[in-house]
Structure 1
Amino acid sequence: MGTLSPDKAVYVVDTTLRDGEQTAGVAFGPAEKLAIARLLDDVGVDQIEAGTPAMGGEEAEAVGLIAAAGLKASVMAWCRATAADIAAAVACGVDAVEISSPVSALHIRDKLRASPAAVLANTVAAVEFARKHGLYISVGMEDASRADEDFLLTYIRAVTAAGARRVRYCDTVGILDPLTMAARIERLRRDKGAELEVHAHNDFGMATANTVAAHRAGARFLSVTVNGLGERAGNAALEEVLMFLRHSGAAAGYNLAGLRQLCQYVAGASGRGIPAAKPVVGQAIFHHESGIHADGVLKNPALYEPFDPAEVGLERRIVVGKHSGKAALLHKSRELGLPLSEAALAPVAAAVKQRAVQRKEPVADGELAAIIREHLAC
């Protein structure tokens, strides 16, 4: 089991095995959890949030297996702010804990039926208990995006003084936009307290953008899940965040060639398939049909592709359909060994368009070959 490397510009904290598994209907067995952890480690994730040991049974078994697997990544367990939860984590052999408590008035009042002062005192006590066991401590501030910012500052100062190394700013119900997220993180960073982590949910489709915005504003720890798994609409997607950071020059040292294998394995284990147009790893994101785009990609792929598909094990394809132009049809006809003449191009294009409209899908290579042969025979 590894530890966090010092002084990196960004740390990727994957919570697929904890928050990702909290997706309704998703359940990983210990062997699947260990396999996912190994794939995450191959990608180079800095810290793996392996699960919640206090659940006992197979959950604690899985966390223990991951902690003992000799991974390069730090292995973290999620805990409530109780000595019992932290003791369960210690028994599993992890090197880090995430101690989570609600911080918004809404959650403190309606979920815990407690006072802010009581919640803070309880969290400080939990941090002090974890510190005695030599653990790396992160404190999760549940519903931070709806909390009073003065209380947040008081909370951060107190848990840091007690021994927390970082705090997790949770946009628990995904209500923030990137500009607001950046402003919130910048204000908290001015206090120069603990390191900040961002944990963004995707209820309004903002999770990846909010995570990147928080990093730009000073949060060095980024919480993500594979394929964006997570409660309700999910969390920031590991593959999206990592690829954007790589291509914006903000992160290096991650093995992005392993992303697609990881995403495919998690898709199978979770029963949640990868949509064809899923950013970064979707099977069809480098398929080009429209005339202008296909013509441009054939001349220079960089015209319409933000990165090389080979980076994630995908392939570029020119497909033909309703919107295909001359360049795509000529290219595909040559690929099929049935080069079109200028005279045959227009009737073939018309037949392809008709077939695509009828079928509501691109024309397969075999069908295209048949159409071309029909018109070449005329």
Structure 2
Amino acid sequence: MKKIELKNVENANLYREIFPYSDVPKINFNMNEIKVDIPDKIWITDTTFRDGQQSMTPFTVEQIVKLFDYLNKLDNNTGVIRQTEFFLYTNRDKEALIECMQKGYKFPEITTWIRANKNDFSLVKDIGIKETGILMSCSDYHIFKKLNMNREQTYNKYIEIVEEALSNGIVPRCHLEDITRADFFGFVVPLVNKLMELSDKYGIQVKIRACDTLGLGVSFPGVELPRSVPAIISGLRKYCNVPASALEWHGHNDFYCVVPNATAAWMYGCSSVNTTLLGIGERTGNCPLEAMVFQYCQLKGNPGMNIHAITEIAKYFENEMKYEIPPRTPFVGTDFNVTRAGIHADGILKDQEIYNIFDTEKILDRPVLVAINEYSGSAGIAAWINIYFKLNKENEVHKKDDRVAEIKKWVDNQYEGGRTTSITNKELEIEVKRYFKELIDVENTRAS
């Protein structure tokens, strides 16, 4: 294959036909077919303590260590949650990193993140980390407008810091920032080819993280570069010979595409996708780690992850960190498996499998729930009673029970009187026990 040389241009290529700025970005097609090539081994990495933490009140050392424990618990020694990365800039970050290192966990492995300069790199050497991410902005937006350099100067700056890492026996993970607006063949491919040459020279595999910094990536086939996730991933494999195991995708959710884009990265030859817990991060956030756990399970099956830990993590964020999770957030929101519609409740009354995505109680320790409002009807009330009081098939209440009809009258009266909110569990429990005396002594383990 002919060597692709760096194209050092005088003027920045801003792809104005795709990114007009004064209008919504465009998706252009070339209809090229790219073959699906999912690696045998895929995994998840985490940047909660780096990219995620930037969007919130800084975590305390105790919070970082506790979340690190949860990541280890979720992974459960499977290696699916492979790595997590830390900042090194504050004493708090360093203290938390050292405490987490002292845990001695195999997974997730601890890595760091630095800018591409020697002062930052000295922090990595001093703390004794084996791998570090290095920020390498690769679009002309960043090269010309942020760094105030040209492509050749930027290229040389990046190569210098990578050689510094390799000469010290530290694995460099090169974060190609804003790759979905970058000149793929004019800058990205020549840079990555040089990085792979350095891998051979030093006998240490340089890793490549393709960063969709503004969430501009597009997952479906036939899309032109620079926005095509399949073309970026397959191109790094084809034109740069980056091993799947050394390739990682990092995305943001600006266009609601962060999960399909990460999944597409796996599908087209990338072993690793980068995430944060609950998708926290700049602007619209990063790819949610819990989402990719379920994508992994759909693609590969669960090798033994403790998925109940996802529910524990969500509770910790809400109770200890005072973070508000939107109620309808998949897997972790309070309402993600709650139904209010009467017809859905009727289906759940017949069989939970009709309207529940999977056995959420078994897999996430989250029983399917029914919330009661003016649309729930008798079926919703009966389903609520059966679920809330955990009644078995022998004892479950039917929607045609006269007592259910009386409770429905009470609910209807509430809304005819001007109520606009759902009936709380506590309110409904009191009303149900007025008519179902046998339930007064039933132990109720659900918090109201």
The question of a shared fold, defined as TM-score above 0.5 by the shorter chain, is answered with yes
Matched residue, 1:155: 191
1:29 to 2:60 alignment: yes
Aligned to 1:3: none
Q: 1:231 offset after TM fit, Å?
A: 0.8
- For the residues of structure 2 that align with 1:364 and 1:269, how far apart are their CA atoms? 24
1:242 and 2:293 matched: yes
- 2:414 is aligned to 355
Mapped partners of 1:259, 1:342: distance in 2: 38
Q: Does 1:12 align with 2:44?
A: yes
Which residue of 2 is the match for residue 169 of structure 1?
210
Q: How far is the alpha carbon of 1:91 from its aligned partner?
A: 1.7
Q: 1:199 is paired with a residue of what secondary structure? A: strand
What whole-Å deviation, never above 9, does each CA across 1:24-71 have from its counterpart, x for those lacking one?
A: x420122322222221122122101122x2x14222232233233312
* Alignment partner, residue 118 of structure 1: 153
State how many pairs are aligned: 367
Matched, 1:327 2:362: no
Distance 2:433 2:66 in 1: 49
Q: Find the counterpart in structure 2 of residue 95 from structure 1.
A: 130
Of 207-216 and 179-188, more deviation after overlay is shown by: 179-188
Q: SS in structure 2 opposite 1:41?
A: helix
Alignment partner of 2:211: what SS?
Answer: strand
Gaps of 5+ in 1: 1-6
1:98: how far off? 0.5
Q: Secondary structure at the match of 1:70?
A: coil
Aligned to 1:181: 229
CA–CA distance in 2 between the matches of 1:28 and 1:14? 15
Shift of 1:374: 8.8
Matches for 1:117-266 after TM superposition, within 5 Å: 117-150=152-185, 151-163=187-199, 164-179=205-220, 180-191=228-239, 192-194=241-243, 195-249=246-300, 252-266=303-317
Instruction: Kindly state the Cα deviation for residue 351 of structure 1 after the two structures are TM-superposed.
Output: 4.5
Displacement of 1:174 in angstroms is 1.1
Q: CA deviation at 1:140?
A: 0.3
1:352 partner amino acid: V
Q: Which one is further off, 30-39 or 115-124? A: 30-39
- Aligned in 2, Cα 1:320/1:139: closer, same or farther, shift over 3 Å? same
Aligned partner of 1:81 among 92, 107, 116: 116
Distance in structure 2 (CA, Å) of the matches to 1:87 and 1:365: 56
Task: Quote the residue 2:323 is aligned against.
Answer: 272
Bigger shift: 235-244 or 261-270? 261-270
Q: Match of 1:362, as an amino acid?
A: S
Shift of the 250–102 alpha-carbon distance from structure 1 to 2, 3 Å rule, reads farther
Q: Among the aligned pairs, what percent are the same residue?
A: 25
* The one of 329, 349, 354 aligned to 1:303: 354
Change in 2 beyond 3 A, CA 1:250/1:346: closer
Task: Decide whether aligned partners of structure 1 residues 157 and 113 sit closer, same or farther in structure 2, where only a CA change above 3 A counts.
Answer: same
TM-superposed deviation, 1:118? 1.5
- Higher mean displacement: 80-89 or 354-363: 354-363
- Unaligned 5+ segments in structure 2 are 1-38, 76-80, 200-204, 221-227, 390-395, 437-448
- Separation (CA, whole Å) in 2 of partners of 1:370 and 1:66: 47
Q: Distance in 2 between matches of 1:97 and 1:333?
A: 53
Residue 332 of structure 1, CA deviation: 4.2
* Cα pair distance change 1:344/1:278, threshold 3 Å: same
| Correspondence for 1:66 | 100
Q: How much is the aligned-residue C-alpha RMSD, in angstroms? A: 2.8
State the SS of the aligned residue for 1:315: coil
TM-score with structure 2 setting the length: 0.74
Q: Give the letter for the 2:153 counterpart.
A: A
Q: Offset of 1:343 from its aligned partner?
A: 6.0
* 1:84-137 Cα distance to aligned partner (Å, 9 max, x none): 212211222222110111000010111110111111111111111111222222
State the alpha-carbon separation in 2 of the partners of residues 116 and 280 from structure 1. Answer: 43
Higher helix share: 1
SS across alignment from 1:283: coil
Conserved? CA contact 2:360–2:368, under 8 Å: yes
Describe the superposition over 1:5-28 as per-residue Cα deviations: whole angstroms up to 9, x where unpaired: xx96112110000000110x4201
Task: After superposing the two structures, state which structure 1 stretch, 296-305 or 219-228, moved more.
Answer: 296-305
1:39–1:366 Cα change, 3 Å: closer
Instruction: Name the TM-score, length of structure 1 as normaliser.
Output: 0.87
In structure 2, do the counterparts of structure 1 residues 130 and 292 end up closer, same or farther at CA, with 3 Å as the change threshold? same
Match of 1:313 in 2: 365
Deviates most, 186-195 or 78-87: 186-195
